[in-house]
Amino acid sequence: MTAPVAPDIDVVLRRLLRASDELSALGGELAYGVLERHGVQNAEAKLTNAHRPYRIASMTKSFTAAMIGSLEASGLNLDYPMYFLVPDLKGTAVGELTSRECLTMGTGFGKDDPWADRMESMSTFDFLTYLQGPLVPIAEPGTGFEYCNLGYALLGLAAESVTGRTLPEMVATEVTVPLQMTRTGFDVADFPDLVPGLRIDRRGRAHILEPTRPGAFSAIGGMVSTAADVCNWMNVHLDSLDAEASSAPGAWSTVLTAGQRPHRPIAVETSRLHTEDVAYGYGLIHREDSRFGPVLGHSGGYPGFGSHMRWFPGLNLGIVVLGNTTYYPAERIVRDAVDAGWLAAIGRADEIPEVPADVPLTSAPPVLPRESTPAPTHPLPAGPRTGRTVLGAAAAVLDWDDAFADTRFAVNMDLDEPREERRERHAAWCRDHGVAPTTPVTVDDLTMENRLLGTVAITDTASITVRLDHLGDVQAITLSD
C-alpha cells in the first residue's frame, strides 16, 4: 500500500487566511490552527488567534464521551438502560435507551439542533420534567443513525447521577487540568475575553448574542476553548492511538481510542477522486478516507458560533477552525482547504476551482463535490398530528399567522430570528417565487420524511421544509432557493 500524500500545508493555510479575512469583513473573527506531529508528545502548531476563547458547541461531545468512557473503565455498563442510572427516567420515552445508543446517535429520536442549542441553561429539574412528556421518536432505538443532541444531554444527566459530580467538574478534574488546557471550560463567566457570538441578519448586519450559562444541556455543546487548547486535545487523541498497544485496560489512551473507532454507519461519500466511509464513534465522526486512511473529528454549531476539528492519524496532522457567527460553516472551510491542499500535493493544482475575489469561500462551489449515500434507516410511520403541524407552518409562511407561531413555535424560533425579520423574509420569498397568500396548502402537497420532518411543495420549483422538535412543535422552517 502506498503511503498517503499529505495536503500541501501552505495551500491549506492560504485558504484559512482568506476565510479569516472574509469573516472579518462581516465583523467576525476566525481562529485556526494546523497541528503537525513529529512522534509521540512532540508536536508543533501553526496558530492564528491561538488563545482567543470561543464556544466550541458540539465539539463538546468528544469530552462528554470521554467522561462516559472513563466511567465505563470504572465499571459502568454501556448497555444498561438509562433508568438504571437515573431512576426518575423509569417509564419515560427515554428510560430504556442505553448509554451506547446515546453515544453513537442511535437513540431513535430526531435531529434537534435548533431547539437543543437553546436549552443549555435548562435546570436538571426542568429537564427531568420535560422527559416525562410525550416525546416523539422517529425510529426504534439502535436501528440507524440520526444526529440527536437529546442523547448527549441524557449522558450528562447519567454521568452526574452516577458520580454525584457535575459534568464540568468531571471534565476539569480528569481532562482540562491534567492536560493544562487552561483556556477550556464550561462557564462563560470564567472567560471575560470570550469572543462575542454574532447573528448576521438577512441584510448583513451583525447582532451580538447573549451567551448562555451551564445547565442540563452543557453536555451537548456548552464548552469554551481556544485553537491552542483544541490542538492539545487533538494531539492527545493522536498520542492515544500510538500508545494503544501498550496501554492497560481502562487507561486514558484506551478510552480515547475507543471513541475514535467507527460504531454506527452514517453514509458513504464519493467524489470523482476518492471515497469516504463515514460513521459515528463516541462523540466523534470517523471517516475512512481512500486518500488518507482514518480521519477523526467533529463540528460544532451554536447561536453565534461554528467550529470544526479534524485530525489525520496516518499523516500526524490536525486542523481546527473556530468562527463567531451562528453556525459558521467551519467544516466546509476545513474540508475545502484539505481538498485543495491535497490536489496541489499530487500535482493537480490546476483542478482547484478558482474563487473570484467577490465570492466568499462559504458560498463558492466545493473543491471536490461529493455524492452521499446514507446508511439505511428504518423510520416509524408518520402520524396525522405532526403532518398537520407541518402544513400549518407552511401555511403561516404564505400568510403570516401570529396565533400559529404563538402556539406551535418551539422556544428557539423567535430567539433564532426575531419574528418581524422572519415575517419579512417569508414575504420576500413568496414575492420572489410568485406565491400568493391564498395559495392552498393541502395534504396532497406534503411529504413526511419521518415523523418530525416534512416538506410541502408549493409550486413546481418552490417548497417549504419544516422540522419539529421532540414534542412536535416547530423548531426550524427552511425555504427552498
Are 387 and 451 in contact, with CB atoms under 8 Å apart?
no
pLDDT value of residue 247: 67
Rounded to a whole number of angstroms, the distance between the first and last alpha carbons of the chain is: 44
- CA-CA distances (angstroms) from residue 333 to 22, 293, 364? 12, 20, 10
pLDDT value of residue 41: 54
Sorted by where each starts, the structural domains of the chain and their CATH numbers stand as: 9-52+193-209+224-245+260-374 (no CATH), 384-479 (3.10.450)
Task: Dig out the grid coordinates for 24 from the structure.
Answer: 472579518
Contacts with 311 (C-beta within 8 Å, 6 or more apart), sequence order? 35, 234, 237, 238, 295, 296, 297, 317, 318, 319
Are 220 and 151 in contact, with CB atoms under 8 Å apart?
no
Task: Dig out the grid coordinates for 21 from the structure.
Answer: 479575512
Amino acid letter for position 185: G
Rounded CA separation 335/309 (Å):
10
Q: Which residues of the chain have pLDDT under 50?
A: none
pLDDT value of residue 40: 54
pLDDT value of residue 424: 97
User: Is the four-CA dihedral 219, 36, 173, 262 of positive or negative sign?
Assistant: positive
Are 327 and 416 in contact, with CB atoms under 8 Å apart?
no
Q: Tell me the β-bridge partners of 55.
A: 224
Q: E-assigned strands of 314-375? A: 317-323, 371-374
- What's the predicted TM-score (pTM) here? 0.96
Rounded CA separation 177/62 (Å):
16
443 CB neighbour count, 10 Å cutoff = 12
Q: E-assigned strands of 119-263? A: 198-200, 206-208, 224-225
E strand or H helix at 359: none
Return the DSSP state at 325.
Answer: B
Long-range residue pairs from 363-369, CB within 8 A, at least 24 positions apart, any chain: 364/336, 366/332, 366/335, 366/336, 366/339, 367/335, 367/336, 367/339, 367/340, 367/343, 368/271, 368/272, 368/273, 368/274, 368/339, 368/343, 369/271, 369/272
Q: What are the φ/ψ torsions at residue 42 (nearest 5 degrees)? A: -140, 100
Contacts with 353 (C-beta within 8 Å, 6 or more apart), sequence order? 364, 365, 367
**Residue among 155, 197, 126, 196 at smallest CA distance from 63:** 155
Q: What are the φ/ψ torsions at residue 343 (nearest 5 degrees)? A: -60, -40
75 CB neighbour count, 10 Å cutoff = 8
Are 194 and 52 in contact, with CB atoms under 8 Å apart?
no
pLDDT value of residue 39: 58
Contacts with 49 (C-beta within 8 Å, 6 or more apart), sequence order? 29, 30, 31, 32, 227, 322
CA angle 67–234–196, rounded 5-degree value = 85
pLDDT value of residue 44: 79
pLDDT value of residue 42: 58
E strand or H helix at 228: helix 227-243
